[in-house]
Structure 1
Amino acid sequence: MREAAGPYAVAATRCVFGLLFFCHGSAGFFDLPKMPVNGGTTELTAWPAGPAAVIQIVGGALLMLGLGTRTAALVCSGSMAYAYFDVHQPTALWPIQNGGEDAAVFCWSFLLLAFTGPGALSVDGLLRRRGIAGPDRKTSRAAPYPR
């Protein structure tokens, strides 16, 4: 029973973390949803907050859909590693001291998804079942035309 439920647990984790990451980016970029403490919206050209918000919105959406999951998760993990070491870690060593718990949890969760893949109920899985090669799928070495 546990083995059968595993892909669905991975899919639920992927969707939840994707939604949280998407909301994190949209709160910073569009101020939606409204946050009680927010320094205002981020401009696209502001470094590193602008590109980070774009990664959060696009990466979160891709993870929720399960499209390009491994690549999206790896990019999202890297952005959170950068956020942790550039923003949080210089102020104190431990995440509990420097406010970097969210960045650390997102980073490691996305890294795990980069290795496990999308799980069940994903666009990647649908494309794989239909035989359409995606960025996360190895293509077969079949001849391009019959001989």
Structure 2
Amino acid sequence: MERVRPYGIGLFRVVVSLLFAMHGAASLFGVLGGARGNAATIPFAQWPGWWAAAIQLAGGVLVLLGLGTRWAALLCSGSMAYAYFVVHQPAALVPLKNGGELAAMFCWSFFLVAIVGPGAFALDTLLPAARRESRPLKA
């Protein structure tokens, strides 16, 4: 199992970030059926919706490509924590009651990517500095 671990992590990163980026694109441009099936877009620079969607699209694409993965994933995780605690949690404590399941799942998924790294198929692994950081430390 240890041999396929980087590939599992890479596939997880790709799928989660693709879904996240699609959510952002739907909110910003009304594509893919729009946000929650509504083809209307969020007005430019409207707080916090437009900024959240911009982070979803840009951060999702960066994590998808595996470019600046850990920092982009941390930003995505933080934006979803904000969404959960500011938008959803005031309605009810439990995600099933406040509609915050997606925010919670994206938050923890991106937090995991920030901790474990990009796995396989990432542009970060092609950069010399990133390769040095991913090498195990010698005792």
TM-score (norm 1): 0.85
May I ask how many residue pairs the two structures share in their alignment? 132
Q: Gaps (5+ residues) in structure 2?
A: 134-139
Give 3-state SS (helix, strand or coil) of 2:67's partner.
Answer: coil
Secondary structure of 1:3's match? coil
Larger CA Rg, structure 1 vs 2: 1
Distance 1:8 1:98, change over 3 A: same
How far residue 137 of structure 1 moved from its aligned partner, in angstroms, is: 6.2
Give 1:77's aligned residue: 77
Sort the Cα spacing of 1:39 and 1:81 in 2 relative to 1 into closer, same or farther, 3 A: farther
Matched, 1:3 2:2: yes
Gaps of 5+ in 1: 139-147
> Aligned letter for 2:44?
L
Q: By percentage of residues, which structure has more helix? A: 2
Q: CA RMSD in A?
A: 1.6
Deviations 1:105-142 (A, max 9, x none): 00000000000000011100011xxx2x35x965xxxx
CA distance in 1, matches of 2:74, 2:122: 17
Q: Does 2:31 align with 1:32?
A: yes
Q: Return closer, same or farther for 1:137/1:48 CA change in 2, 3 Å cut-off.
A: farther
Match of 2:47 in 1: 47
CA contact (8 A) 2:31 2:39 kept: no
Q: Does 1:22 align with 2:24?
A: no
In 2, distance between residues paired with 1:82 and 1:102? 13
- Percent identical pairs in the alignment equals 54
**CA positional deviation for 1:65:** 0.3
**What is the TM-score with the length of structure 2 in the denominator?**
0.90
Query: Structure 1: which amino acid aligns with 2:106?
Result: F
